[in-house]
Structure 1
């Protein structure tokens, strides 16, 4: 069965290896450039000493402004990869058997249909897992300097590093396999599987993920910079987490409304020392965030969601194939 599966999927294995080589070739020069700038700006020294001095802030802002857009754009281009890989490979497992009529031979041998499909699922899933973990290592290496400044919760980092990439791919693979079983056509199954993958992944990324664990909060001294909205360049010495929101609160702990903050901005905009004035009013900046050390907790949760859905779908496919008429 291993030899048979290899014969069926060896072209996909070669394609996966070629994809790894291509992505490595694309990210390698950018990774070296990012590391060179990280060292030349002295960002590593600032982070090592956990200093928030003006010179360090300036160095980190310059570094982020130089490479953050490149890192995010490259990651954005590659973010559909898990869905495409999984959908294409999954749809071909059964869709191609029906289209080419090879099921007549494959399912009339001594190996039962359920066992035949289960073994193929296990072997193909193992190959996909190996490819995805390798890709995650490449992406992690590329973004490592940027992650030290902007954190690993940024979508371009979180979606491609750790275990999440593998979970996405296995889920898309399961969707493709089920779609191929039900539609009996490869291309329509790919389209349906990729659409289903995106329909699940987008709500998880933009709504559910931040609710995995109750966020932490902290109060700090307010500044004019924060009263005028979130910074486009999040720079925090040390290990930055995931900032969900921050608002000005008064001495009673009540959040100022948008109108109140707007009036306050107009009052302090021309003051010589607006920060001292804000502190004199008894205001604090309340930051709601997920700490950086929760990265792997979030990774395991997200992987469990998508891998769990994949297991359910694959079990359904095995049972459906075992009991349905061909």
Structure 2
């Protein structure tokens, strides 16, 4: 809704079509909902052609990982977002962790597993707390912070054995727990060119006081008070620029919104928790409300 609202506000835009849209977008001037699921790429291509759409902006992560930008570009339709190659930064946590290691970008120590017994042996060799993540897309809910080894062993069963997250849990990533303050750092990236947007923070835990399981986001605010000019520089120099240059080196250049979920420790060191290949939900709302210029 926030993205459609801001796009429709542009003097260069006559009409915004949203697929599938919601009750909020249906009430926005200059916006029309289309009853097409976000993952029906064939129907979306047909609608873009029928309505002579000049630019498609992809909101959710699943179509990006599944190659919607590749398909649109193959059909001669401009589409803003990463192709399926760089979208692996969100589609596979093990891909991301290996990419970070290859390019010297700071992140937590980690290992990936498909065998439950191997994962259990690793857990028994590591101190708690630790973080267990389903490798694939799980709508922001595939992360379990285990305070004890026993909780971690239970999470192995949930993810690898019981397949709580379906196909997203065919591979499990286990990483060291990082202490600090979490922030969201979102940029617009094209190749090695980067335009950082306002910083933000979201509330992940379901309940007040940072209690309960993680969610896709219970709300957000911007700016992030923790990020001063020096930390902003360090994030750009140590995380963002090495990421976009690394993607170019690996021949999967990035175009679109690039979201780095970062943990900032007490000494001001940023380390990557995750990447999202889209505007953050719910961070989009406060960032676009603060944006004075045309998106």
TM-score range, shorter chain: under 0.3
TM-score by length of 2: 0.25
More helix per residue: 1 or 2?
1
